[in-house]
Amino acid sequence: MTTVTQQPEVDLATEHLFAMAPDEIPPVPAPSGFTGSAAEWNARVDLAACYRMVARYGWDDFISAHISARVPDEDDGFLINPFGLLFDEITASSLVKVNLAGDVLEVGRGQVNPAGFTIHSAVYQVRADVNAVVHLHTLDGMAVSTSAEGVLPLTQTAMTVAADVAYHDFEGPALDLAEREHLQQHLGKRNLMLLRNHGTLAVGDCVPTAFARIYALERACTVQVRALGTRSVLTPVDPDAVAKTFVPGAMEFIGRFGWPAVRRTLDRTDPSYRS
């Protein structure tokens, strides 16, 4: 069953807050022998950092699930993990560059999970505004993906994303490229998705935005699982308050402000993601 929630119109009373500027992240020089652009190398560094943070939060799933980023200034190239590496092994140089036809553009970089290619290429084909995609199989995300009700606006965190969640019914393992059209139709212009009986997905104009969105969605799912597990009567929330809490642009803002802290954390604890 596919559920669509109407997105509310929200007055951006926080426009002055969004005008604040986040900390600058110094660019990372590309290693000797790297043949791509400086912009591509730094996209690789951000993407590798995202993999490492997902692993730190315990959201990885052995060698399954995948995160990708579009290659800057290229028509249809995107970066994704080589099949067979754990998320905490991913580095900037280990990422595989592929195009929307499925061609590996860098020989010797490893193989790509076919299901990952199907899901990520589906988004990049039709969403020119998207430069990063996160798809996970977390325990709580998968649990909520089995619910006919989907993501419920039970908490402030859930309310920040619930109106932006799309739903895609399970069609089996995503190995059939024909499924891309259905994924595209169901995602539409939204930025989050529950793949029914499967997992979660977030997109963004950059890796920081996609990470902020998946973080909020995963937290919403975790609290929902715990709240429903109490079997208590849940506190209703006024619909006007729910609508007010969903603010377009908030995840972009949070992602950009939080990402320098993510990078600082990794640089302190394990900077090997940059290699």
* Residue whose C-alpha is closest to residue 144's, from 208, 77, 229: 229
User: What pTM was estimated for this model as a whole?
Assistant: 0.90
Using an 8 Å Cβ cutoff, are 163 and 6 in contact? Answer: yes
Structure tokens at 166: 């799309």
Give the pLDDT of the chain (275 residues) as one tens digit per residue. Answer: 544 444 444 444 556 666 666 778 888 899 988 989 999 999 999 999 999 999 999 999 999 999 999 999 887 899 999 999 999 999 999 999 999 988 888 755 678 888 889 999 999 999 999 999 999 999 999 999 999 999 999 999 999 999 999 999 999 888 889 899 999 999 999 999 999 999 999 999 999 999 999 999 999 999 999 999 988 888 888 888 888 888 888 888 889 999 999 999 999 999 999 99
Mention the CATH class of domain 35-270: alpha beta
Reference 241, options 178, 179, 154; nearest CA is 154
What count of other Cβ atoms lies within 10 Å of the Cβ of residue 253?
18
Q: What pLDDT is recorded for position 108? A: 55
pLDDT at 113: 87
For residue 147, what are the contacts with CB-CB under 8 A and spacing of at least 6?
none
